[in-house]
Amino acid sequence: MTSKIFPTAQDAETAFYEALERADLEAMMAVWAEDEEIVCVHPAGQRLTGPEQVRESWRQIFSGGSNMRLQVAQQVAIAGMMVAVHSVHEIITVSGEKRPRAPVVATNVYLRTAAGWRMIVHHASPAPGAPAAAAPEEPKILH
């Protein structure tokens, strides 16, 4: 599918978010492993498996053009010899929208392949809102 080589999982992650911001389908799919078991879950979406479903989902998302700006924050990275897991907050702003969107929490899993690091899982969910102030609890009395 692609000859692009990502020497590190972070390089693949950077390419993923650049492709997302540019709405570039070919660059997006260049990040993904050429494997039938890849998995993608968009916020509030169903689980998509395999390159065809993943490609079609990104094609639909990108059909509106590149009108978003994306910032990745609070990255936590766990890296091994063959697998890396990144947990991030995606802060997305869309041109023309008056209100900022709620952050998205995403987990990205990368596999080291013969063709460099490739994404095998992207799972994104809406971040929970700010916690509500807790009501003071009545003191508990033990008898």
Query: 26 φ, ψ to 5°?
Result: -65, -40
pTM equals 0.84
**Token reading at 107:** 């987990």
Q: What is the mean pLDDT of the chain?
A: 87
Name the DSSP class of 38.
-
Domain residue limits, the chain: 9-123
End-to-end alpha carbon distance in the chain = 70
Q: Does domain 9-123 have CATH number 3.40.1410.10?
A: no
Question: For the segment 56-113, what is each residue's pLDDT rounded down to a tens digit?
Answer: 999 999 998 878 888 898 889 999 999 999 999 999 888 888 887 888 999 999 999 9
Report pLDDT for 133: 40
Q: Which helix (H) or strand (E) holds 59?
A: helix 50-62
Radius of gyration of the chain (CA): 18
